[in-house]
Every structure is written in structure tokens, then in C-alpha cells.
Chain A
Amino acid sequence: MQAIKPDLVCPGHGELIPMDALRIAEYTDYIQRKEAAFRCR
């Protein structure tokens, strides 16, 4: 996601989601926190 840098996301269900640097960071941070939770860090 960080490499692709989309302007828009078309999800599999639901409406288009506008993206910018902040939202990409939000998305990757969500993954980061999820991974930390799964690995109990």
C-alpha cells in the first residue's frame, strides 16, 4: 500500500474511499498495531 500510493480505493463491498498520505499511514498503522497484537509485542 505504501508503494502503490492510491488516490482512490475501490473496496470489494461498499463505496469508493478517497486516499491520501494520511489515510495510507492510517491503514498501515492499523496493520502494524494488528501485527503487534497478534505477536504479543
Chain B
Amino acid sequence: MLIDYGLVSPGHLHFGNDHDGMRALRFVEHHIDQLRDDYGVRDIELAVPTHIHDDHVCGIPFLQKHFGTQCWALDCIAPVIFDPAAWASTPCCFHKPIEVHRILYDGEAFQCRGFDFEIYYAPGQTEYHAFILGKIDGKRIVFGGDNLLNPQAGGIASVIAIHSTVMRNSFHLEMHAAARR
């Protein structure tokens, strides 16, 4: 199971408008060899995206093509990644439709290979965003996507989790309270 499978590094991000140039967004396979060689992972059965943004989901069609990977997604995320053409005004959608095999709902629990997970609606960086809680080796680990960022790169020295807000990404005031609860 992978939570998100997108770009390998920020160097692949496409910030400009040069859609035909070298900096255009392009997915490159990554970490599959390492997972196989170092951890014996032969198959990727499931991918669960934290949110709709292209840098987090653009590798999922590759997984589906080569591994037959299922995609499970929160109910607000699924329609966007399944039919991105219908969401053309929503920033940072990935242009290829992603087949979604199971729709998950806010607070729903699910299992993968004996591990327990829960998914929660958590808007912020975009309205279409989830927190995924995994109970792994006795720890509660939240996969926070881009709603939980360590802002060290922004010049803040301490390691803290901050809630991101991007006004262009369908911002609503209610996002704050929903992420805090």
C-alpha cells in the first residue's frame, strides 16, 4: 500500500507556464526498485491519496497500469481525480483520470494487510484533502499530505507542524475548524 504516489522530488514540479518545455510536469517511476530490492515488495495492491494535487497522485495511473493497483479515495477526492476535466478550474489537478475502486467516507476505518487505518476529511491546502491515520508498530501515524507541513524551509528553525492554507485552492473559512477538530 502506498499513501500518495507522485513526483519523486520538488525538481519535477512545474511552476511555470512552459507546458512544452523541459520543466513541464512529468512523472518518472521512483522507489519501486528500492522497495523490491530492499524490502521484497513485489506488488503495489493499493494507493490512497491524501489529496488531489498532481504532485501527489500523478504516479497512480502508472501503478494501475503496471501493478493493477486499486485506488481508494475519500468521497470528496474521488470525483476530482476520476474526472479532472470537470474540475479544470481547480488548481493543480492531474490531467489523467484515475480509476477509483472504493470511496471512503470521513471517519471511516479500513484495513490493508492487517494494518488498521482511518481516513478523515481535513481541508486546508485544498478543500479536497484527507488525513490518513495509520496504526503501525504501536504508533499512531498521521499521513498529513500538504495540510501538515514542517515549515523549516520557510525559515522557521524549529520542527513544528503547521496547517497550510492556499487561497487559490478553493479556500473556505470553514476549513480551519474542520482541520482542528
Interface size class on chain B is 35 or more
- Is B22 located at the chain interface by the 8 A CB criterion? no
- Taking chain A's interface residues, is the majority helix, strand, or loop, or is none over half, making it mixed? mixed
Least CB separation from A8: chain B residue: B141
Q: Is the CB of A3 within 8 A of B181?
A: yes
Most-contacted residue by chain B among A32, A35, A38 (CB, 10 A): A35
Determine whether the beta carbon of B162 is less than 8 Å from that of A27. yes
Chain B 93-104, CB within 8 Å of chain A: the 1/0 string? Answer: 000000000000
Count how many pairs of residues, one from A and one from B, have CB atoms less than 8 Å apart in the complex: 98
Does the CB pair B176–A13 fall under 8 Å?
no
When distances are taken between beta carbons in the complex, the residues of chain A under 8 Å from B150 are: 11, 14-15, 17
Whether B149 pairs with A14 at a CB distance below 8 angstroms is: yes
- Report the bound CA distance from A32 to B179 in whole Å: 10
Residues of B within 8 A of A (CB): 3-4, 10, 50-51, 56, 118, 120, 131, 133, 139-150, 152-153, 159-163, 165, 173, 176-177, 179-181
Contacts beyond the supplied A1-B180, A19-B142, A35-B176: 12 A-B pairs with Cβ under 8 Å:
A4-B120, A4-B140, A6-B140, A10-B143, A11-B146, A12-B56, A15-B159, A27-B148, A27-B162, A30-B162, A31-B163, A35-B173
